[in-house]
Structure 1
Amino acid sequence: MNEWVGLEHAKMINEQLKKWETTAEDIDLIASHGQTIYHSPKSMRPASEYGNATLQIGDGDHLAVNTGIITISDFRQKNIAAGGEGAPLAAYGDYLLFANSDEPVVLLNIGGISNATFIPASASFKDIVCTDIGPGNTLMDQWIQQHTDWKFDKDAYYAQQGSINEDLLSALKANPFFDLPVPKTTGPELFNTGYIQESIKKARLENLIWQDVLATLNYFTATVIASTILKFSTEKAKPSILISGGGLHNPLLLEHLHQLLPGYSIGSTSDKGIHPDAKEAILFALLANELISGENSFGEGAPGFPAVGMGKISFPF
């Protein structure tokens, strides 16, 4: 699979170069995150003798050889080797793109897992806090895929047909992950359909209609995001919130966030010139550039985020 994913990605890149009517010689670097197969921070298994672990596939050598372009891949291993959990890596790109503001800002990415970077006004890298929050779209996506042929709940169509169930909401919130100190990381290894079914069972709601479950998952996602943001806010310094990721396109989720975070300015990264659906790709392009240039733009690092160059270099020759 490692080879196959790398070759498939190479095909996609070569096809895109043809569409752009450009050649490999015009491209400086490929920054390839790869496909995450497993992510297992030590905090999820405290009794284990093994440390933080993560695995992404999509071999960089196959990408480089089959495109003719220098490729940077496998970014997360260096972060773990230097003492991090391997995620979220958004801290590095968010700092380079959004620091030096006169106002505090939260960069909220709602992908499969939601994560946030808190940047105080005029902050250095060591001042920021970046953490996974919990589920973003993953629980909603997995649930709707189980009950329809949709990949996701477009425009919250089905969630808006359901009602929030408070007992299920309480069961969903009852997980030790939410009490862990930040920074922390998680993934679908924890937040999956099994998590939903176990919560339904705990709440004794086996007969709850699936639309009500989906509506509750939507609100649950909003509540864990809002509670995390509130922990890093004060009445005198409410940060502006800039959202990226697929969750930005869920109108019900955004409605809940506005209700749960009154008085906050909530927009998207497009307000700062960064397309919200491209921010994660831009992040890894920045990390690749940092590595290949041999620069350290992060000073002493931040808690959980060592100031190291990340990624492995693969040459096409």
Structure 2
Amino acid sequence: MAFAVGIMSGTSLDGVDAALVEIHGTNTDTTVQLMEFTTYPLSTEIVKKIKDVLSVETSSVDKICSLNVELGYVFSEAAKAVCEKADFALDQVDFVASHGQTIYHLPVPGSHQSASTFQIGESAIIAEETKTMVVSDFRTRDMAVNGQGAPIVPYSEFVLYRDAERTRLLQNIGGIGNVTIIPSGAQIEEIIAFDTGPGNMIIDELCQFFYQEAYDKNGEHASQGIVDQEMLSEMMAHPYIERKYPKTTGREDFGAEYTANLIGQWQNKVAPDDFIATATRFTAQSIAVNISPFIDQQTELIIGGGGSYNPTLVQMIKEQLPEISVLIQEEVGFSSEAKEAIAMTILANQTIHHLPSNVPSATGAMKPVILGKITYYH
């Protein structure tokens, strides 16, 4: 048994998720009990700094170097905050599992490039601040064996969600959408996982542009808009949507630059709420197109991540997939918010026990490998 804090800062930049868990066992015998969860807010200044290093126009080596350390302190505060919320002594934590902040993901390199990924948030700072061991940088080891380094959570999903009777499709909707397909009674080598395309990323950018709002709260703008079919058809023609798996994507495809181009092309033709409704349908339809080949009579689609709290988006997904059961994480006894932070603790637990936790059938890796790097505290 161990006590651990999982830390996740995703592409949506809506805060740092921190989960305090009690974890038992390894491999398929792993069990996890969520003790407490919090989302530690990111200051406006930090969000701006992250966005600056995400853009090739505004990024620089000195900005990345400094932000790497600064985020180490931010992640440390998130770990402290969840322990304080639980009234749990920080010195009782056995390890911290930190995903880091992805600033670039390049699974399909161009000429004169290498397949690569880069997460920042210095683990040495987290170890020193929390006075405990830190496991971090999970993606790069998978890429070292020709994997795409993503998706990163399928191993934890296999451990927690596999079912003898039903195929379960676990659709996370953060900034990007990703799905894990777990056939009924599956072995781990049968797991399939990949990014379906955009999640909340385009919707959030549009809400910021039109209304100076961080996101579409409760899907209200989308619910009042009408989907523009011409614009939707053009969005669905994006080559990523029909690409075969394994595949992974990010801000490079569907971030601020993509959204700015959409606005430039369609702003004079499409009203703001119609714009947001169309982007929301794009997320729903890209999910449906990508998961339809894996659906059978006993399939459950379980939605997690921030998008699960957008009822307009969830309803659009249900309309696209009327033949299956569509649920959100809470309806099956799990937390949508805490899911990825918990996943980090499962990966780190495997690392500490010298056990692999990538899923080659999902990432395209040549073999199972032990993920992550350990930073010891002394």
Give the TM-score normalised by structure 1.
0.91
Aligned residue type for 2:92: D
**Deviation of the 1:197 alpha carbon:** 4.2
Pick from 8, 17, 37: which aligns with 2:103? 37
Q: Name whichever structure is richer in strand by fraction.
A: 2
1:195 matches 2:254:
no
**Partner of residue 302, structure 1:** 361
Query: Contact conserved, 1:171 with 1:199, CA < 8 A, in 2?
Result: no
3-state SS of paired residue (2:350): helix
Pairwise mapping of residues 214-229 of structure 1 onto structure 2 (< 5 A)? Answer: 214-229=276-291
**Residue type of the alignment partner of 1:179:** E
Among 283, 290, 294, the alignment partner of 2:343 is 283
The answer to which structure, 1 or 2, has the higher relative contact order (CA under 8 A, 6+ apart) is 1
- 2:69 paired residue number: 3
Partner deviation per Cα, 1:43-85 (whole Å, 9 max, x = no partner): xx5x423232211110111100111011111111111112211
The answer to whether the 8 Å contact 1:171/1:200 transfers is no
1:105 alignment partner in structure 2: 168
The answer as to 2:356 corresponding to 1:314 is no
Tell me what 1:119 maps to. 182
CA contact (8 A) 1:64 1:316 kept: yes
Secondary structure of 1:134's aligned partner: strand
Per the alignment, residue 23 of structure 1 pairs with: 89
Structure 1: stretches of 5+ with no match in the other structure: none
Work out whether residues 135 and 374 of structure 2, in 8 Å CA contact, stay in contact via their aligned partners in 1.
yes
Deviations 1:256-294 (A, max 9, x none): 111110121111233443211111011111000000011
| Contact persistence 1:105–1:240 (CA under 8 A) | yes
Q: CA deviation at 1:164?
A: 0.7
* Distance in 1 separating the partners of 2:267 and 2:234: 11
Q: CA deviation at 1:116?
A: 0.3
Aligned to 1:68: 131
Letter in 1 for 2:112: E
- Give the Cα–Cα distance (whole angstroms) in 2 for the partners of residues 200 and 187 of structure 1: 19
Amino acid at match of 2:68: N
The CA deviation at 1:238 is 4.6
C-alpha distance in structure 1 between counterparts of 2:188 and 2:120, whole Å: 29
Calculate the aligned-residue CA RMSD, in Å. 1.9
| Equivalent in the alignment of 2:227 | 164
Partner residue in 2 for 1:54: 117
Contact 1:143–1:193 at 8 Å: present in 2 too?
A: no
Aligned pairs (5 A) from 1:173-252: 173-199=236-262, 206-234=268-296, 237-252=297-312
Match of 1:256 in 2: 316
Report the secondary structure of 2:193's partner residue: strand
Cα distance in structure 2, aligned partners of 1:205 and 1:25: 54
Paired letter, 2:129: N
Q: Is the 8 A contact 1:17 1:24 kept in 2?
A: yes
Unpaired stretches in structure 2, ≥5 consecutive residues: 1-66
Q: Aligned in 2, Cα 1:155/1:14: closer, same or farther, shift over 3 Å?
A: closer
Length, aligned pairs only: 310
- CA shift, 1:220, in A, is 1.0
Q: Conserved in 2, the CA contact under 8 Å of 1:9 and 1:63?
A: yes
1-structure distance, mates of 2:152, 2:86: 29
Partner of 1:89: 152
| Alpha-carbon displacement from aligned partner over 1:145-181 (angstroms, at most 9, x marks no partner) | 1111211100111112221111100111121112211
Structure 1 residues 251 and 77: CA distance shift in structure 2, 3 A: same
Change (3 A) 1:2 1:265: same
CA contact (8 A) 1:109 1:116 kept: yes
Same amino acid, percent of matched pairs: 34
The DSSP-based 3-state class of the residue aligned with 1:295 is: coil
Q: Distance in 1 between matches of 2:220 and 2:128?
A: 44
Q: What amino acid is aligned across from residue 96 of structure 2 in structure 1?
A: I
Conserved? CA contact 2:241–2:290, under 8 Å: no
